[in-house]
Amino acid sequence: MGGDGRDHNHLGYTTWFASGGAKAGFAHGSTDEFGAEAVVNPVHIHDWHATILHLLGLDHEKLTHRYAGRDMRLTDVKGNVVHEVLA
């Protein structure tokens, strides 16, 4: 992508997801015709982390770490479980 880092494309990526709580054979969202950017049902990484933590039985809103004297959520303040991918 030409930027700093290792050319990871944060605008459109694929994750293969299998667990006891995920829908089988389900595709959530899609990218543009070039696979460069999510255009249908984009999911922020904080939402994806919240969903994984939910499936592990953890409440992502209560899971925090202390940084600079403040308790911070691992899923930031905007992370939400993506219920559409749950069975």
Predicted confidence at residue 82, as pLDDT, reads 95
Predicted confidence at residue 5, as pLDDT, reads 58
Predicted confidence at residue 86, as pLDDT, reads 93
pLDDT (tens, 9 = 90+) of the chain, 87 residues, equals 455 656 667 788 788 878 778 888 888 999 899 888 899 999 998 999 999 999 999 999 999 999 999 999 989 888 999 999 999
Predicted confidence at residue 35, as pLDDT, reads 84
Three-state secondary structure of the chain: CCCCCCCCCCCCCCCCCCCCCECCCCCCCEECCCCCCEEECCCCHHHHHHHHHHHCCCCCCCCEEEECCEEEECCCCCCCCCHHHEC
